[in-house]
Structure 1
Amino acid sequence: MSGSVSWGIHVEPLDGPGGEPWWSETPDEVLRTASVGKLILLAVIAERIASGEQDPTERLRWDSGEFVRDSGLWHALDQRDLSVVDACRLVGAVSDNLATNVLLRHVGLDAVARFASEHDLAPMALLDRVREARDPSQPGVAPTLSRASARSVVRYLRLLHDGTVQPTVRDWLALGSDLSMVAAAFGLDPLAHADPDRDVLLLNKTGTDSSVRADVGLVTLGGRTVAYAVLASWEGDADHRDEVLARMRLIGREIRRAGLETGPDHRGLSG
């Protein structure tokens, strides 16, 4: 594996006996994570819906200043407005950039930062809205969309697993269609895996840009739920996607083997 790729990996069972990490490699290194930070935004909105502060049917309309393409579907639709909950579904399903920007404008970046602080998620953070061109020299423009360490993402996933993060987020993530990374190993239907299939139930969120691949999630297999965060980023013009994706899929196969073949008393993975 090329030394120019920085990795953060943490795989940890959340229930059953044991509790020692199955795999941990530089879990505290802070890396760029592209869309993974959208998880915090979803948690804020789900909390507001649960408390009655937010009407899930409220209609939100995008404006030209927040319009972005790439990840998502809303930018390609004729529909100019969506309900809050439908925008969240688009973020969960296809990491929708336009829906992210509209939701972030609606709740405010300060609310996202406050949620992260209250739940001790640092260094996991959503730093900015999605931009088609990012120039950190401009006022108010962060150098990257989001950042995290693998261990901090697993802290978030533990909160999702134990219900501290509202269960509505699970429903949105169950729609996720990107199974190209770690999750490729589970052999699920990318467009329909909200229910268990072959004794596997998966909730995941990915992050992708030209020099980032990240896949984080909860996978229940063999009667045990495992949280995983596998983050990779690199600098420069070299394209490391093939080697990064190959390793991410290997990690997914190891998680699957440990959970389904070795059983719930398994204590580790072969690195």
Structure 2
Amino acid sequence: MTWSVLVVDAGTDEVLAAETPDAVLRTASVAKVLLLSALAEALEAGTVTASEVLDRSVTPRVADSGLWHRLDVAALPVGDVATLVGTVSDNWATNVLVERLGLGVVQAVGPREGLGATQLWDVVRDDRGPADPPTLSTGTASEWVSVLTRLHRGTWVSPAVSARVLGWLAGGADHSMVAGALGLDPLVVPDGPVRVVSKTGTDDGVRCDVGLVTGPGRTVAYAVLANDGDVTATLARMRGLGDRVRAWVS
């Protein structure tokens, strides 16, 4: 299977679209949501404090997605590091948070919350060798929709954790996939009739987008995972589904 798709009404669980929703695919950066969940839980428990400052020098530099590798500042408050992950999927910030929390702590979140195939398997690497996990993350559309609907309802881990995670994701800047059909400015957190909170993942042959879209009519949770080498066709299909999502929430 190269596609895993599920779209539901986040309030009623009505299935609006589905295609092999339980297929396990590579999901690239989407599973950084689990990292943010682990951090939110640590902040709520007090094992990490909001005033803590994290220095990026604790991990090797990684490039590609993100901004921190382009900035001069080497240390940031933990909340700002999480914001970099949630808004621009920052790879270096991701690895700094994994270093601070421990990969085992991050990996414990999913199974404890009922996830099976959806997991963050490793840190981000510029080069992935034979001794490393073969992919950053895996997941299914059905499990990601369950995460999203629980975030919407405030039941993902806890109400406070759900609120923190949604806050970090609210400024997500990548609208190249499903959310591209909504016609929103990705650099402005919308307060109009249609709002989106989403997380994307991109790698060679991987395009994934999971999110919540709220409109005048209802809130829709979607997960569209594609492991298809035809990027042009994949993005066109994802935006086509985004058109349907826009109609459903209107």
Please state which band the TM-score falls in when normalised by the shorter chain: over 0.9
Matches within 5 A, 1:1-271: 6-16=2-12, 19-63=13-57, 65-135=59-129, 137-138=130-131, 141-165=132-156, 166=161, 167-193=163-189, 195-197=190-192, 199-234=193-228, 239-260=229-250
The answer to whether the 8 A contact 2:58-2:96 is kept is no
Could you tell me how far 1:201 is from its partner in structure 2? 1.3
Structure of greater Rg: 1
Shift of 1:100: 0.1
Question: Residues 232 and 71 of structure 1: is their aligned pair in 2 closer, same or farther, counting only changes over 3 Å?
Answer: same
**Is there any run of 5+ residues in structure 1 with no aligned partner, and where?**
261-271
Q: Unaligned 5+ residue runs, structure 2?
A: none
Contact 1:66 1:102 in 2 (8 A): no
Once the two structures are superposed, residues 216-254 of structure 1 have per-residue CA deviations (whole angstroms, 9 ceiling, x without a partner) of: 0011113311110001013xxxx5110000000000001
Secondary structure of the 2:2 match is strand
- Supply the distance in 1 between the matched residues of 2:140 and 2:57 (Cα, whole angstroms): 33
Aligned-residue CA RMSD (Å): 1.3
Quote the Cα distance in structure 1 between the aligned partners of 2:151 and 2:110.
13
Letter in 2 for 1:258: W
Alpha-carbon deviation of 1:158?
1.8
TM-score normalised by structure 2 residue count: 0.94
Q: Percent identity?
A: 46
Determine the structure 2 residue equivalent to 1:267: none
User: Any idea what SS the aligned residue of 1:203 has?
Assistant: strand
Which residue of the partner structure matches residue 268 of structure 1? none
Question: Once the two structures are superposed, what CA deviation does each residue of 1:38-69 show, in whole Å capped at 9, x if it has no partner?
Answer: 00000110111122221022111122743100
The answer to whether the 8 Å contact 2:59/2:96 transfers is: no
Cα distance, 1:210 vs. partner? 1.8
Cα deviations by residue, 1:179-211 (Å, 9 ceiling, x for unpaired): 110001111111002x332x1111000000121
Q: Is the contact made by 2:59 and 2:99 (CA closer than 8 Å) also made in structure 1? A: no
> 2:88 touches 2:174 (CA, 8 Å); kept in 1?
yes
Q: How many residues align?
A: 245
Aligned equivalents of 1:144 and 1:110: distance in 2? Answer: 17
- Give the residue type in structure 2 aligned to 1:243: A
